[in-house]
Amino acid sequence: MNCPKCKSSNHKKNGMATGRQRYKCHDCGYNYSVQLKSTASPDSVKRQALQLYLEGLGFRSIDRYLGVSHVSVYNWIKKFGQELEEKKFIDCSFANRGTKTGQKLWKKIKNKEIEEVMTDHWSICRVPSRKHSYSIKS
């Protein structure tokens, strides 16, 4: 078992919380437990929420469809976007589909050599169509 924050295996037991063993990481000081709460949504539900969001549904629509909190849906989408920004993409923007978001993204990428731009079926201004693809990965 590794620390979920820094992935270190250097930890010690640090009490109990709601019947679950707690641990403290020696490297980053993060407190965590390893068992999922019984109310935690499975990854398949989170993946489905992301797919529905990429298809254009709002957080509250996804909430009603999946039977989970719209705040949870928002947090899952936000976390997914942050992970993508950190790991896979040079630049990306996750927000509403308004002009302001488009301008923010364009400001980030306008002076870069663009190989490909991927969106959720919404067109982007000023991106050549040969570089614009539409994709949803499961």
At 44-100, the pLDDT tens digits run 899 999 999 988 899 999 999 999 999 999 999 998 887 776 665 555 566 666 677
Higher pLDDT, 109 or 50: 50
Mean pLDDT of 115-128: 57
Structure tokens at 93: 């923007």
* Residue 92 buriedness (CB in 10 A; 0-12 / 13-18 / 19+): middle
Q: Which of 83, 73, 75 lies closest to 53 in space, CA to CA?
A: 73
pLDDT value for 4 = 85
Higher pLDDT, 49 or 38: 49
Which pairs with CB-CB distance under 8 Å and at least 24 residues apart come from 122-125? 122/56, 122/97
Ranges of each domain in the chain? 1-35, 41-116
Top-tier CATH class for 41-116: mainly alpha
CB contact set of 36 (below 8 Å; sequence gap of 6+): none
Q: What are phi and psi of 71, to 5 degrees?
A: -65, -40
